[in-house]
Structure 1
């Protein structure tokens, strides 16, 4: 926590003091909307684990001290900060408390109040507060005013006060669940399983009203009660004779274990996480180890510095809400990538972690090392073009070194390897059968490169060739020519070490046009190869690239293929070949990634204005189909066409709502009652409105944003923000649709 606070304050200084403005992007001629990068509240979790027993409750006093009550006594958080789990250890700060049978805690005037089997007591006020009681099994306490307290053992209520007469009564036909205090009326509210009661501390008046619903937790929100049940919650006026409102059951979880009003927000605990009601009536849902050490919530309270303490069966979570700009978030992610996600210059994942501990992971190879690194490299080029950051330039150089070596580490002219690694580890790498030995006994390289990598390469090199002014520009042009020369010279195939085309490196009309018109591969391969050929011609001036592109468009229908509306893409007919059927079982979200990366070269380097107009039509048609996913990258890339309508608000939402914790924790949403499910469909959209990124599984842009659950081994990997987040952010900055951070 201390470490992260220092980091974030440092980022504020960087953001407000040393950030350059974006380079003017003269190719955007329309009047574009701009997201003003002002402070918003970024949430993240600090977790303190405890195996057993479960945490009962936790509070923070006026000094910022946190105490946690468990069946083993009072505990305190130790050692935790963001991404590094802490522990709950015995609180030995005041030894005499260890000898007391403390059953409950609360706060009064921001000081800790304890309830044991003999008294209500505190270490504040020089320890002078000590009010004896005769309920040895009392485990509920609520503070009132003027050192007044109401306690209960579940059946009997006892009022204790320094100055007022004591009072005692039994809840004859019900059990006490919880007690709250209403300052405005000087009343204690008592929730039973099937009743609501009040005790007026001024007149010693006790009233009870029966309710039909079984009730589990409650709190006051202004002059209303918010009451949880096993089937949702209802509200009623804070009047013992008021009628309860209708049950609200469109919730993430309907079984309510705790209700807490904090500021203007109402928080709910459940057996499956916690959730907060938003101003728009929807809920922010905190489930799983991204947020909580255990999912059964026993207590919620206000923490220090705008944080929330959530007690669970697995320990304590502190949900922190930190004022932050997108630029500050970008600076955090830049550090995340450099510290934990650079393998030989590649943008890599951290794998084989132990329970989310980022210090235990290893940098992993990937089929898509070239693709993920292309996206990160392009992000750093945009960053450099926007800020002239020396750090961004050095990042570009190091990743470019890795990208170049993909070509020269193997003996196939112009063929980019998928990856490379030191020899002796093949059996420990992904897909060991794809790895080949080099002439250098120290190194191996990975074969079978696909079209995903090819379009990623050309996208990144095109961005670099356009925006860089140093030798990286020429190096990028050389690699564009190297790769595209290989593809054109090999009849529009990527030809591997064995002299055969790779499975997915095929743009030849014989392959592309063998697919029925509704099969997505026919459209995507046509779109990508034209974008790649245009990029090659734009930067090399070699006529063979232009001639090949026009041959494909004029003689083989590639322009028609790439212009085909997305609504016409679907499953192959029954009489189609098996390969086409396999390709079109459902929408391939990796295709979206390939399309949109290709759109940079398709639109930006169009041969003429007539084609550019057509390409824009195709891009906007695709964007329209993708709008429900609210993907930050797709919306920002669409802005390159100059259209003023590209869902900038959704792009900013994606960037704000993306979790800072990119660890592969288990996520579950399919049980939720507050989301509207839709019928199974070709695009695999499961619900009507996509969930925020911090409520769904961590994933790259090539995944289905409507995926609801991720179950299985968890906490074993951390994804890099280099391609997931930094690419849309820095492209948005370069295109001028995201502002530099606003001074507050």
Structure 2
């Protein structure tokens, strides 16, 4: 045992000093510099004002937010609340026709039925006119106020009218000001006010919006946008490769175009497009107005809500700390890491933790993260957290009378949820336990045991504790002819590693490769931890007599649609199960680090790289890091991209992307696209459904709803692995 421990320690020190062997492409660690990421802030309408219709949003020079409604002017208050602005009693009972912000100064102006005014300049500005002539206003940097009615317009300076100006058309869409000049938009034209006359500077078709951007004008249409110069000459072709080409509103600032539509909002800049929709980002998809504050944050208004896209500076370390604290507070159930359910999706405090079929697998991500954290930091808390979460693994072995069999999970008597069939009374009458344990759970067991052995267990007693745990499980499997035997004396549905089962799969089915890999990894680990010769003998028997080594080396390019195979009535081989990727890559860590010799390790390196090659389009940080920590290959850029794009808000919101016109979709082809890569490029994680690592990263839509919250260990494990492997500094 001591010799094996020393060998493991030496190999890990070499890994830390030199990086993984095998020709890795890592050029150096990436420093965790602060970066800017969008965060959703949803404002609540103050109680008592439910049903208020929101119409327009502006932000003044102090970054105060004002919303024009059918009940008057609302504004922002602490706690992300908007409520009626009662600060000026003389205005509190009045409902404006319009509000606007003066360019440069950021002063707020109000338009009422018979006057316009501002509370700045000591309240001196108050231009009066006959009632109900004007419905829109704009204010330039010189203090000129343009008023727009259905049939006429007028310019005021201060309280004095300078001129009445006839409108060039009966219908207008928008009124804007830029560099002291006023611009008017109709469905066919852009006009500029020159010498108290509206001059057409551009004619087009299907125009819906415009944005003034210095010496350019951005024109939105029913089918994309294009740009003109200040004279109206088109300087860029129409672009309709957009999430939603029918544009309602446009903004342009700091090299970024913002678009509001009836199906969310998005921006486009040199780096690409970011798309914001309900439920993660907006209260609903119908965006009727938008504006930017002086920090570049966007305010997206719907008829029912105000939504802010806040561009927050954060670090990966800071996000890890937040998610770890959050997990400890709200996601630990008897030491298991648990997805939370909201009893009321509208109430974020209505959290309930319930068992999951794969508590042992999901908890391995959290426990693994703390093991790697301890390897990096030597923080006592991290080690404590590992042992805390190892206790439920140990209890799963003894909560029932079946020797060496690990249950899925447990719960107090009378409180089990979901499917009740696999549940049985425990030895302790106060508890029930869940059977039907699967290969998913087994993967969690061996991964947990390996990282505790490598990074946490430091005393002979701790080493023996982990060895006894894995010895009990592997003894059960080996002595029961490579099956998990359940409470009914029969093999569980998926806990099967017997050659008759494994080799019944065609070589074109991944189950044959996967189950062979799990078997050998478990036997290698058990031999290393216990020194019992039976495990080594059995491993070589499986590899040599039953072809498990050759099964493990089946090229991933050979895996394809395979019909005609059923297991207990379940059709298999006709689609790709991304849980298999998850099980395989977690197991690769164990397989490689506990190989019997260098010859096998070299074989494992090749098969790991073979699997990683087809995984690269998914840009999964964990698969990259597990590959790098074994065979030495990595896509470092994707690792950092994944970690930065992973939202700190882990709620599983409903998401829709299949309607987008900016996405190049791939055909579903059972042969060429067996793994169901739905699009050419992977969308940012904040725009996709939030899933665990067992889901397709290219999943575009989800109607799951927002009553489930992931624990966050989906981020924590790759983050701390990146730190440990010096991919991230």
State the TM-score bracket (shorter-chain normalisation). over 0.9
> 1:66 is matched with which residue?
65
- 1:158 Cα shift? 2.0
2:144 matches 1:145: no
The question of 1:517 aligning with 2:507 is answered yes
Residue 262 of structure 1: how far off its partner (Å):
3.0
Counterparts in 2 of 1:558-569, with a 5 A limit? Answer: 558-569=548-559
* Cα pair 2:175 2:184 within 8 Å, conserved: yes
- Report deviation, 1:479: 1.4
Matching of residue 431 in structure 1 with residue 419 in structure 2: yes
Matches within 5 A, 1:582-601: 582-601=571-590
Taking the aligned partners of 1:525 and 1:79, their CA distance within structure 2 comes to: 56
Once structures 1 and 2 are overlaid, which stretch shifts more, 159-168 or 580-589? 159-168
Task: Indicate yes or no: 2:96 matched with 1:96.
Answer: no
State the aligned residue count: 702
Match of 1:674 among 649, 662, 679: 662
TM-superposed deviation, 1:95: 2.0
Q: Which of 203, 213, 229 matches 2:221?
A: 229
Following superposition of structure 1 onto structure 2, how do residues 412-427 of structure 1 map, counting pairs within 5 Å? 412-426=402-416
Contact preservation (8 Å) 2:225, 2:239: yes
The partner residue of 1:383 within 373, 376, 399 is 373
CA shift at 1:515, angstroms?
A: 0.9
CA offset at residue 213 of structure 1? 1.3
Give the equivalent residue in structure 2 for 1:295: 285
Change over 3 Å in CA distance of 1:127–1:596 after alignment to 2: same
Match of 1:254 among 224, 245, 252: 245
Q: Secondary structure at the residue paired with 1:168?
A: strand
Match of 1:7 in 2: none
1:54 deviates by 3.6
RMSD, aligned CA = 2.2
Secondary structure of 2:250's aligned partner = strand
Q: Quick one: distance in 2 between partners of 1:610 and 1:497?
A: 40
Post-superposition offset of 1:91? 1.9
The DSSP-based 3-state class of the residue aligned with 1:380 is helix
Q: Which residue of 1 aligns with 2:8?
A: none
1:153 CA drift (Å) = 2.8
> Is the Cα–Cα contact under 8 Å of residues 303 and 318 in structure 1 kept in the other structure?
no
Tell me if structure 2 keeps the 8 A contact 1:465–1:474: no
TM-score normalized with structure 2 length = 0.92
After TM superposition, the structure 1 = structure 2 runs for residues 119-138 of structure 1, keeping only pairs within 5 Å, are 119-134=115-130, 136=132, 138=134
C-alpha distance in structure 1 between counterparts of 2:586 and 2:435, whole Å:
22
Contact between 2:139 and 2:177, CA under 8 Å: does it hold in 1? yes
Who is 1:351 aligned against?
341
Greater mean alpha carbon deviation, residues 248-257 or residues 351-360 = 351-360
2: distance between equivalents of 1:233 and 1:610? 60
Which of 472, 475, 487 in structure 2 is aligned with 1:482? 472
Of the three residues 588, 605, 610, the one matched with 1:621 is 610
- Cα shift at 1:188: 1.4
Aligned position for 1:705: 697
Question: Does structure 2 conserve the Cα–Cα contact (< 8 Å) formed by 1:22 and 1:734?
Answer: no
**Contact in 2 for aligned 1:381/1:393 (Cα 8 Å):** yes
Aligned to 2:453: 465
Q: Counterparts of 1:573 and 1:642 in 2: how far apart (Å)?
A: 33
Aligned to 1:729: 719
| Partner residue, 2:434 | 446
TM-score by length of 1: 0.90
TM-superposed CA distance for 1:489, in Å, is 1.6
Partner of 1:37: 32
Task: Name the structure 1 match of 2:9.
Answer: none
Change (3 A) 1:79 1:367: farther
Q: After TM superposition, give the deviation of residue 381 of structure 1 in Å.
A: 0.6
The residue aligned with 1:57 is 56
In 1, the alpha carbon distance for the partners of 2:636 and 2:605 equals 18
Q: CA deviation at 1:194?
A: 1.4
Per the alignment, in what secondary structure is the counterpart of residue 75 of structure 2?
strand
Partner of 1:685: 677
Q: Does 1:408 align with 2:404?
A: no
Contact preservation (8 Å) 2:263, 2:286: yes
1:187 to 181, 186, 195: 181
Map 1:232-311 to 2 at 5 A: 232-240=224-232, 242-243=233-234, 245-280=236-271, 282-303=272-293, 305-311=295-301
2:629 counterpart SS class: helix
> Pairwise mapping of residues 487-506 of structure 1 onto structure 2 (< 5 A)?
487-506=477-496
Structure 2 CA distance for aligned equivalents of residues 213 and 156 of structure 1: 23
Aligned pair in 2 of structure 1 residues 23, 515: CA closer, same or farther (>3 Å)? closer
Question: 2:109 aligned with 1:110, yes or no?
Answer: no
> Following the alignment from structure 1 to structure 2, what is the Cα–Cα distance between the partners of residues 147 and 473?
78
Alpha-carbon distance in 1 for matches of 2:62, 2:216 = 31
Q: How far apart in 2 are the matches of 1:607 and 1:287?
A: 52
Q: For 2:261 and 2:131, locate their aligned partners in 1 and report how far apart those are by CA, in whole Å.
A: 29
Distance in 2 of aligned mates of 1:370 and 1:243: 61
2:606 match: secondary structure? helix
State the Cα distance separating 1:69 from its structure 2 match.
1.6
Q: What displacement does 1:474 show?
A: 3.6
The answer to whether the 8 A contact 1:232-1:249 is kept is: yes
8 A Cα contact 1:374 1:460, kept in partner = yes
Q: Which runs of 5 or more structure 1 residues have no equivalent in the other structure?
A: 1-20, 81-85, 740-744
Q: Deviation per CA, 1:7-36: give whole Å up to 9, x if none.
A: xxxxxxxxxxxxxx9993667246633222
**For the structure 1 residues 437 and 304, does the alpha-carbon distance in structure 2 shift closer, same or farther, using more than 3 Å as the test?**
farther
1:157 to 2:153 alignment: yes
Cα gap change, 1:474 to 1:59, in 2 (>3 Å) = farther
Report the counterpart of residue 165 of structure 2 in structure 1. Answer: 169
Of residues 189, 193, 199, the one that matches 1:199 is 193
1:311-330 to 2 correspondences below 5 Å: 311-330=301-320
Q: Which has the higher contact order (CA 8 A, sep 6+)?
A: 1
CA–CA separation in structure 1 for the residues paired with 2:634 and 2:187: 51
